[in-house]
Chain A
């Protein structure tokens, strides 16, 4: 099994530098390569100092929303009658994303250390890593790393000979995209259906088991040890203002060298595709790129000459999201793409709120109709309008995740939808009245 791609010389390997070392998942390798140094440093700092260092790093959540991590950490109340918890979102399921898998597989101790730094910052004593069910083999890797950490005094009571204590467990999911949404993940962690909660209260105030909870993505936690080691400002300087540091970008689709590569925020997207990814495969032309998982609106080839950081991609009308960058060549059928994306969101809609449950279902039906060659001209506008109506009207971001790419595809590749409709011999030129 090919576990990961060859690294590229153009990468800046801050959190992936141990990938490829012999036994990179073992605590011995970790300790020999700066392992648990940040923890020792943090144990001599105050919680506020740790949070300030993370704030200075300009680290933003790597799960998809891109919320500033230091700020999120500061929301957890200092004093609390209830115990405080840490929950790690390892339910990586945004189509196009496969980085957290590598971070756990190759460097589980880096994640443990990041969790411990979060625990020091917010005063938590217990935590869970919620791993998606499909990643069964990672649970064994993570459990082994946790056992090693207990044995070496990095988990349990009196960590590194101090008063600090922390218990960490893995928790398996059972196949549900929706559980990547933080409040649905908490419901699932509590043994229920993964249906999102109303917010506020946010998890920082009332999260797992109605206690204050710090919840971050695997990559976010995995980035913190490096921040503490090198200092928040130095980490921030790797990236661009407001988007600090590096991130793992998962390249897939029609490229010569697909893979997961760590690059600084602000790295040029076309350089990433052409030089790290070896360009579009089979000598074909680039048609479009989905920059951050299937929920991010796609960018036409001529819109892709931009730096990969949160603000630049937002300015181009899309989002960096989860870092799942999917490349499409000139042969890609955009109508089929829109249908496949919608089929996914329709399947994964939890059914709790009507705009999402019904919206995704009807959009799938209409896109299927167009793809099957039974589409009418009016369907094209209807698809766009329905998606537009879903936006911002659903209980959780899944509805937006389904609507945004659909709106973009219909707008940018309307001609392809029209070509499908033109092939329908029964297409009516205008709406026929039945009265």
Chain B
């Protein structure tokens, strides 16, 4: 499989960051950047990255399975992540997540029929002092009220 020339250049640079013979270290960044481009960690991607780094597909697979941000099934184009951990919970994070579920008609890690939006209840994302917080893909939204959430979600549905 092929990646975009920009990503290939990034990968070529990435493997030089680690000591000689330790190129496996590039695996997790490659999976993350690859997923950002392709949309999910596909079987084909695992085989390809394994081949490049001298790993079996199984070895890549066991790494993918460990990390919560790596998805083998495609998430929506806009992946809405609502934190309900303690700091967010104290400021209404759980209610915010329930609101998102009803508004979108989706549950944890479900994707809308058109593939546009997905929802996930996530653990602490490091926005505790600005809770409740959500992330849409990598973008943080802080101190989100249910009204603001509606506006954000409606913007994504268009």
Contacts and interface: CB of A to CB of B under 8 A. Distances in A.
Contacts of A191: 24-28, 53, 63
Interface string A314-341: 0000000000101110001000110011
A253 B140 contact: no
A135 interface: yes
Chain A, interface SS category: mixed
Interface string A68-80: 0000000000000
A406 B87 CA distance: 17
Given A174-B28, A341-B86, 19 more contacts: A93-B124, A95-B85, A95-B86, A95-B87, A100-B126, A171-B17, A171-B25, A172-B32, A176-B67, A191-B63, A193-B63, A250-B129, A252-B129, A253-B87, A253-B90, A324-B128, A340-B85, A344-B86, A348-B123
24 contacts: A2-B142, A95-B123, A97-B124, A97-B126, A98-B126, A134-B126, A171-B17, A171-B29, A172-B28, A175-B69, A177-B124, A191-B24, A191-B28, A252-B128, A253-B90, A253-B131, A258-B130, A326-B90, A326-B128, A337-B86, A340-B86, A344-B86, A347-B123, A350-B66
A194 B123 contact: no
Contacts of B28: 171-174, 188, 191
B143 interface: yes
Contact of B129 (A100, A258, A294, A344): A258
Given A135-B126, A191-B53, A332-B90, A209 B22 contact: yes
A212 B80 CA distance: 41
Nearest to A171: B29
A92 B143 CA distance: 20
A175 B75 CA distance: 15
Interface of A: 1-2, 5, 83, 92-98, 100-101, 126, 128, 132-137, 169, 171-177, 188-194, 209, 211, 250-254, 258-260, 290, 294, 324, 326-328, 332, 336-337, 340-341, 344, 347-348, 350
Contact of A95 (B24, B26, B128): B128
Interface string B3-40: 00000000000000111001011111101110000000
B54 to A, nearest CB: 11
A96 B86 contact: yes
A103 B92 CA distance: 27
B125 interface: yes
Contacts of A194: 66-67
B126 A344 contact: no
B153 interface: no
B141 interface: yes
A175 B70 contact: yes
Given A174-B70, A254-B90, A294-B86, A98 B140 contact: no
Contacts of A132: 126
Contact of B130 (A2, A190, A341): A2
A190 B126 contact: no
Contacts of A251: 129
A56 B124 CA distance: 35
Nearest to A5: B129
Contacts of B125: 134
A190 B24 contact: yes
A136 B138 CA distance: 6
B44 interface: no
B63 A290 contact: no
B128 A96 contact: yes
Given A290-B86, A332-B90, A337-B86, A252 B19 contact: no
Contacts of A97: 124, 126, 128
Contacts of B29: 171-172
A340 B89 contact: yes
A174 B135 contact: no
Contacts of A1: 140-142
A336 B86 CA distance: 10
Interface in B28-83: 28-29, 31-33, 53, 62-63, 66-70
Contacts of A258: 128-131
A252 B131 contact: yes
Given A94-B124, A96-B124, A190-B24, A137 B138 contact: yes
A209 B22 CA distance: 8
